[in-house]
Structure 1
Amino acid sequence: MKKTLIIADGSVAKIFLNTILDKYFSNNHYVIIAKDTCFVPSNIPSSFEFYTFDYTSEYRLSRLINSDITDIFIVLEDNEEIIQTYALTRNLSKKARIVLFLLQDLRTNQMLNDSNLIMLDPELIISNKFIERLPNVPLIPRSFGLGQGEIMEINVPTGSIFAHRHIGSIQQKKWKIIGIYRRGELLLSSHYVIIQPNDSLLVAGDPKVLNDVYMQIKSDIGQFPSPFGKDIFLYIDMSIQPEQSIWHDIQNAVFLNQNLKSNKLFIRILNPCSFELLDRIKALESSDVNVRVDYTNLNFEQMILKDAQKRPGLIIINHRIFAFRRNRKVLFSLSIPVFKTGWEHIEKCKTSFVILSEDMGNDGNVASVMFDISKQLDLDIDVYDFDPDASYRNDIVQSYEDLSRIFHRKINIIQTDSTNPILYIQDSFVPYVHFIPFVPSISKIKAFSFISIDVHKIASLNNKNPQVFIPLPKEQK
């Protein structure tokens, strides 16, 4: 596993680490070395390793720096420590990219001749900030325009879902692709330009939207549950679930943990009441499975809010837990994908199913997550486009067909003006995995839901098929 090493001390390092923990915890696997324990947070995501020791000790560094460390960030305040730590890390790793900040007149000959070293000059950075604010001087975006993230340059990695796509085939609401940097040239954006791997996209728009776009571009095909997180959490409530239902959910969770790019499965047991059953579940513990029993009488809402600090990538629950409005409400607020188990076992499902609606045309989350999971589980895809007036959503269908070629998935488009999709999936003998956008109406009270015209709300009542509820970007909720 490729890892990023960060050697940290001082106020800049503290801010740097807090930002990574808050926004970019799932982008990489991080190894943090610090002398002071104040750098170790109370809740550590699974993608972080923290060590406290003297980083100027070559012996201690040598125990952590190996071929898995591809990038090293030296974020220290003391100049002598920066120079000494650089020399030690470069001696231990000849090829790793090292990033540090140091004044020009303090740089050693070894640093100046190091092609894998990036040196940031703090004086030059501050000087550029003053220049940007001089009158009658053209504004050159440094730190991305206003510094709020409204302008970004994003590199498209090999395997990105944006690679090999026409710009016109990408839904762009509240953001736009302005141009493409390719081999040292700027190509202005047009509908027919095809994005290639290693292109850099110049994009502008709402900072919150661009952050989601960045995560989508950087996420390789077949990486779910990233970018939401790296772990799967299964919740069991023994007070409302019979033993058969509990084992059914566990089997589903184990299968998903083994077949998705997850780091670990966490099984959380609420309201324990059978010690024999608890022993059987605890026997599943391994390096990939963690079992924890709550004896403090926490309810589901309290437990999941506590676990949310660990950044789950997927939450698995039974329909009995999902039935409580307060539970759906907290799940909706977390913006984490939810897998609701159905009567059908996930292992028997060979096809994904999605119902198109008008609001899905402005969001790529549902499609990208569905194709990602379908690729990893080797599922074909059925797209159901129902309209009584035969006014089909051909633009959305086209985007799904484009994704099917990128992900190499077989897709079946069902367009009909007669058979309601809810009746279709209820009467179907095909064991589907149903993908549903987690719209606000699902989190609200279920009274009279059966007469609702909200197709996704009605679909959420179906307990036959396993369902994946996919959060929408916050600005669209």
Structure 2
Amino acid sequence: MKKILVILDGIVAKKLMKRIVETNTRDNNYDVVYMNDSIVPENKASNFTFYKFDPTSESKLAMVLDKDIHSQVLVALNSKDEMLNVIKNIRSRKSNLPISILDYWGIELSDPYLNIYKGIEVLANGMVERLPNIPVMAQNIGLKQGEIMEIKIPFGSSYAYRYIGSIEQRDWKIFGLYRNDQLVNIKPSLILKPNDIILVIGKPTVLMQIYNAIGKSQGQFPMPFGHNIYLYLDMFILSKKRVLDIVEELKYLNKRLKNSKLFIRITRPTNVGILEYIKDVFGKNDAVEIKMDYHDIGMEKLLKSDTKTLDIGMIILANENFKDKSKIKHLLDLKLPIFKLGENLNASIKRTVIILNDINSYEQISPVVFDVASQFKTKTKIFDMDPVGEDEDKTHLLDHFENLSKIFNEKIEIISNDKNPIRELKKQENILQILPLKEGMLNKRLSWKFLYTNPDLISFDMRKFNQLLIPIIEE
């Protein structure tokens, strides 16, 4: 059990004494030196001993200091001179005793055992943090530099409807979450929702970046998955023309998306001329890095290794990589968005498209839909079609998309009828279809494709358009 010396006087003393009593766990014993009777609580706990005298009296204070071995001193007084005298009196008896003081006057002392809490800064921070769009930081925990922060998830944030396991957390971590005034257990499958309050810990500079990213409603993708985009280019399975088309598409994507860096991983190179062309196109760009694999390490090992070290937020793959679905099941484990390059590449996306299916999946990907549309400067076309008469009512989901479109200030076009959505999709040109990445997409298909009615699976098997696959939690 530790012995704490508390020296109090002035306007803060009564409130501070009340706070100490309220947080009393009886694990400490307190010697309290005071001058005003109003400070003393009505109910005195047995582990509190009170002394009424002027603490600037060296002899009287020495009596208390010599009586017990104190582990710490807490001082809150009414004047700078009194504070300096008390510190001097303590140091004359105990040179290494830790002292914490409440300072309103700008006290500057060279004392390694003195912790100074700036009263004006504490008050100012407390008031400022009540304002909207201001980060709330723990002032007096850890290094006292703001390495613990409270962040509210706004409606329309790119972090809303993201499950925690899919959020890249480097140099910071989510360690607590409040929802509807209740503390919720943190787990990777927990989905963040608007108005959730998360508690995060990490480097103060990183936390401010995260705070700013969470507060913004558009232009953040590929965050929160990661900062960089990554092309896996297996030249052995691609024709020369196909590689050249992919390079042009890559230039377009790198220009449009708000990524920090582009990594090009080339494996199984087959044409020296094309390699030199790629290096000529991107070689002078410091934000592009070309990495070679001459040893045919394999897609699974390369992606697993690179995603761990390169802060990847989106992986770009050609349609050809998806021919053998048994060899790409590992993509699900990465929990990263996949940009699947279609056959009709022209380095221009005129419209983003979604075909509404199940409510859970499309609610999760909804913020990404508008974030991506804002970066490509496209209108979003939403197909709400029900040719087989499904039971699930999508009214709530449509309202959700309409609300998000207002928040993101993005235009949407909703097509509602009972036509076949896949037939309507095939009529589109220069589109990017955005889909939830589901386990069933990477399963082997039966020969009788007419048996499939799920538009997500049917769309995924199409090779015509570019598709962006967003990882989700499947229920």
**Where on the TM-score scale, by shorter chain, does this alignment land: which range?**
0.5 to 0.7
Q: 1:242 offset after TM fit, Å?
A: 0.6
1:407 match: 408
Counterpart for residue 287 of structure 1: 286
Q: Give the CA deviation at 1:328.
A: 2.9
Q: Match for residue 248 of structure 2?
A: 251
Q: Distance in 2 between matches of 1:220 and 1:323?
A: 36
Deviation at 1:319, TM superposition (A): 0.3
Partner Cα separation in structure 2 for residue 158 and residue 362 of structure 1: 18
d(CA) in 2 for partners of 1:472, 1:375: 21
Q: Deviations over 1:310-358 (max 9, x none)?
A: 2310111110012222443111121100001113336422111111112
Secondary structure at 1:291 match in 2 = strand
Question: What is the aligned partner in structure 1 of residue 134 from structure 2?
Answer: none
Amino acid at match of 1:469: L
Letter in 1 for 2:402: E
Tell me, yes or no, if the aligned pair for 1:161 and 1:403 is still in contact at 8 Å: no
* 8 Å contact kept, 2:319–2:343: no
Which SS does the other structure have where 1:316 is aligned? Answer: strand
**Shift in Å, 1:396:** 0.8
Structure 2 residues not aligned, in runs of 5+: 1-97, 102-112, 126-136, 161-176, 199-209
Shift of residue 162 of structure 1?
9.1
Q: Secondary structure at the match of 2:237?
A: coil
What's the counterpart of residue 454 of structure 2? 454
Residue matched to 2:100: 104
Which residue identity does 1:402 align to in structure 2? N
**CA deviation after TM superposition for structure 1 residue 429, in Å:** 3.9
Which residue in the other structure is 1:302 paired with? 301
Give the Å deviation of 1:154.
3.7
Q: 1:122 and 1:267, CA in 2 relative to 1: closer, same or farther beyond 3 A? A: closer
Letter in 1 for 2:412: I
- 2:345 corresponds to: 345
Instruction: Identify the residue that residue 73 of structure 2 maps to in structure 1.
Output: none
1:234 equivalent in structure 2: 231
Q: Which of structures 1 and 2 has the bigger CA Rg?
A: 2
Would the aligned equivalents of 2:230 and 2:315 in 1 still touch at CA under 8 Å? Answer: yes
Q: CA RMSD in A?
A: 3.4
1:281 alignment partner AA: I
- After superposition, the C-alpha distances for 1:419-473 in whole angstroms (9 at most, x for unaligned) are 21112111x1432211111111011113437232222111111111100111003
User: What is the DSSP-based 3-state SS (H/G/I as helix, E as strand, rest coil) of the residue aligned with 1:389?
Assistant: coil
Kindly tell me: are residues 178 and 234 of structure 1, through their superposed partners in 2, closer, same or farther at Cα, counting changes over 3 Å? same
Aligned equivalents of 1:460, 1:159: Cα separation in 2: 27
2:161 is equivalent to residue 160 of structure 1: no
- Cα distance in 1, alignment partners of residues 441 and 229 from structure 2: 22
Report the TM-score, using the length of structure 1 for normalisation. 0.58
Residue pair 1:219, 1:227 contacting (<8 A) in 2 also: no
How far apart in 2 are the matches of 1:219 and 1:324?
Answer: 39
Q: Which moved more, 1:318-327 or 1:431-440?
A: 318-327
2: CA distance between counterparts of 1:383 and 1:363? 11
Separation of aligned partners in 1, 2:121 and 2:289: 44
AA aligned opposite 1:374: A
Report Cα offsets for 1:82-140 as digits up to 9, x if no partner: xxxxxxxxxxxxxxxxxxxx9737345586776689653579xxxxxxxxxxxxxxxxx
Between 1:211-220 and 1:461-470, the stretch displaced more is: 211-220
Where 1:339 maps in the other structure, the secondary structure is strand
Mapped partners of 1:444, 1:110: distance in 2: 60
In structure 1, C-alpha distance between the alignment counterparts of 2:323 and 2:438, rounded to whole Å:
16
- C-alpha distance in 2, partners of 1:343/1:331? 21
Change (3 A) 1:295 1:212: farther
**Matched residue, 1:278:** 275
Distance in 2 (CA, whole Å) between partners of 1:162 and 1:274 is 42
Q: 2: distance between equivalents of 1:162 and 1:263?
A: 18
Structure 1 stretches lacking a partner, 5+ long? 1-101, 124-143, 145-151, 164-174, 180-201
8 Å CA contact 2:385, 2:416 repeated in 1 = yes
Partner of 2:260: 263
Residue 425 of structure 1 corresponds to: 425
Partner of 1:416: 417
**Contact map agreement 1:383 1:414 (CA 8 A) in 2:** yes
Aligned CA distance change for structure 1 residues 326 and 231 (closer, same or farther; 3 Å): farther
Aligned to 1:357: 357
In the alignment, residue 365 of structure 2 is paired with which amino acid? Answer: V
| Aligned AA (1:291) | I
Distance in 2 of aligned mates of 1:203 and 1:218: 22
Distance 1:327 1:376, change over 3 A: farther
Structure 1 residues 231 and 430, CA gap change in structure 2 (3 angstroms):
same
What is the match of residue 366 of structure 1? 365
Counterparts of 1:211 and 1:236 in 2: how far apart (Å)? 32
Instruction: Tell me the percent identity.
Output: 26
**Counterparts of 1:424 and 1:398, CA distance in 2:** 22
SS of the residue 1:308 aligns to = helix
1:204–1:108 Cα change, 3 Å: closer
Aligned residue number for residue 140 of structure 2: 120
In 1, Cα distance between equivalents of 2:346 and 2:233: 17
- Match of 2:231, SS? strand
8 Å contact kept, 1:301–1:326 = no
2:448 & 2:409 partners in 1: Cα distance?
37
Q: Which residue of 2 aligns with 1:178?
A: 180
Match of residue 334 from structure 2 = 334
Residues 218-243 of structure 1: per-residue CA shift (max 9 Å, x gap): 56422000000000000111111011
Distance 2:260 2:341 in 1: 21
TM-score by length of 2: 0.59
SS at match of 1:348: coil
Do the aligned partners of 2:158 and 2:223 also contact (CA within 8 Å) in 1? no
3-state SS of 2:425 partner: helix
Q: Is the partner of 1:453 in helix, strand or coil?
A: coil
